[in-house]
Amino acid sequence: MAKAMPARTCPVAAFQKMISGKYKLRIVWDLKDGPRRYGEIRSGLLRGTSGSAEITPRVLSRELKALTMSGLVDRKDFGEVPPKVEYRLTRKGKSFVPVVAAIREWGEHHLDEAAALTEAAE
């Protein structure tokens, strides 16, 4: 029996915390197709961006670590030199993919920034 109401942190807040960061969602999305190496993730992220900002290793590293600690992705370090590290979605991470898919789908339909404003006049 729960305490009437788990007023702690609504799932939404927890979700926001978990995906806080500019790249986390996109990393998860990239990883849905299979394991990827550090550099591949980085390149993939760059491709999607408006071309301006380079993703600094510090940031990417951080996001990856956070995702790992959240239990969404798993880090697999292949022994030694030259360094090779793969990141892949855990079960939890995979279960999260549909949610991201929903977000993406909604975004593609209602969220074109410019087109969005048009419909905003509703």
Partner DNA sequence: CAGCATCCTGCGTGATACTG
Partner DNA sequence: CAGTATCACGCAGGATGCTG
CA–CA gap between residue 116 and residue 29 (Å, rounded): 23
Side-chain-side CA neighbours of 93 within 13 Å: the count stands at: 27
CA–CA gap between residue 60 and residue 22 (Å, rounded): 10
Residue in this structure with the two tokens 């550099």, named with its chain if needed: 39
Among 14, 15, 46, 56, binds DNA (CB under 7 A): 56
Rule CB under 7 A: say whether 119 interacts with DNA. no
Rule CB under 7 A: say whether 63 interacts with DNA. yes
Over the window 82 to 101, marking each residue x when it contacts a copy of itself by CB under 8 A and - when it does not, the resulting string is --------xxx--xx-xxx-
Closer residue to DNA in complex, CB, 48/98:
48
4: region left, alpha or beta (phi > 0 left; psi from -120 to 50 alpha): left
Q: Catalog residues that contact a copy of itself under the rule CB under 8 A.
A: 6-19, 22, 25-26, 29, 47-51, 69-71, 74, 90-92, 95-96, 98-100, 102-122
